[in-house]
């Protein structure tokens, strides 16, 4: 199989994620879309690692995973807090800085 197909898949996943972040209002979904984008890049990293035959890409993807994990912890905590106080998980409701 042509190895570039992995890159196409990664691009498609990234686009789906990006579109999801911009159009969805539910914070959890937006969050999942962000995860999707991160994983799309992970896929790209691993693919490049394979293409170039070194481990740099794989190392980078580990970094991404660690960052993603941290982000989930902080991000979910924020979402839960917002939900508790405002009884809503819509990101549009949380435009507090504007006001």
Partner 1 sequence: MTTSTHLVYLIALPLLSAALLLVLGRIADKWGHLLATLVSATTFVIGALEFFAMQSRTGASRAATQKIFEWISVGAFKVDATLLLDQLSICFVLLITGVGTLIHIYSIAYMSHDHDRRRFFAYLNLFIAAMLLLVLGNSYLNLYVGWEGVGLASYLLIGFWNQKPVYATAAKKAFVANRVGDVGLSLAIMIAFAQFGTVSFDGVKAGAPHASPAALTAIGAMLLLAAAGKSAQFPLQSWLGDAMAGPTPVSALIHAATMVTAGVYLITRSNFIFDASPNARLMVVTVGAITLLFGAIIGTAKDDIKKALAASTMSQIGYMILATGLGPIGYAFAILHLLTHGFFKAGMFLGAGSVMHGMNDEVNMRRYGALAKAMPITAVTFGLGYLAILGVPPFAGFYSKDKIIETAFNSGGTKGILLGGATLLGAAITAFYMTRVIVLTFTGSKRWDDKAHPHESPILMWAPMVVLAVGSVASGFLLSSGSALVNWLQPVVNSQNVVAGEELMKPIVVSGLALGVVLLGVLLAIFKYRTVPTSAPTQVSVFTKAARKDLYQDSFNEAVLMRPGQKLTAGLVLTDYKVIDGIVRTVGWTLGAISTAMRKIQNGFVRSYSLLMLLGVLVLVFTIWLVTL
Q: How far apart are CA 70 and CA 89, in angstroms?
A: 20
Around 79, how many Cα atoms within 13 Å sit in the side-chain half-sphere? 18
Binding residues for partner 1, total number by CB under 8 A: 15
Q: Which of residues 38-57 bind partner 1 (CB under 8 A)?
A: none
The DSSP call for residue 3 is: T
Contact call for residue 91 and partner 1 (CB under 8 A) = yes
Closest CA to 68 of 26, 30, 37, 27: 37
Output 1 or 96, the one with its CB closest to partner 1.
96
The window from 5-13, 21-29, 51-59, 76-84 that contacts partner 1 (CB under 8 A) reads 21-29
The answer to whether 78 contacts partner 1 (rule: CB under 8 A) is: no
| 8 Å CB contact between 10 and 43 | yes
Residue that has been written with the tokens 């984008």 in this structure = 37
Q: Smallest distance from the beta carbon of 82 to partner 1, in angstroms?
A: 11
| 3-class state of residue 17 by DSSP | helix
Residue 16 touches partner 1, criterion: CB under 8 A: no
Residues that bind partner 1 (CB under 8 A): 18, 21-25, 30, 91-92, 94-99
């Amino acid at each position: 199989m042509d190895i570039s197909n992995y890159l196409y898949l990664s691009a498609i996943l990234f686009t789906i994620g990006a579109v999801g972040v911009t159009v969805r209002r539910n914070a959890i979904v937006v969050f999942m879309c962000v995860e999707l984008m991160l994983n799309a890049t992970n896929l790209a990293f691993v693919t490049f690692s394979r293409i170039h035959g070194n481990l740099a890409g794989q190392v980078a993807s580990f970094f991404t995973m660690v960052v993603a994990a941290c982000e989930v912890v902080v991000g979910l905590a924020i979402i839960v807090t917002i939900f508790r106080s405002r009884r809503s998980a819509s990101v549009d409701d949380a435009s507090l800085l504007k006001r």
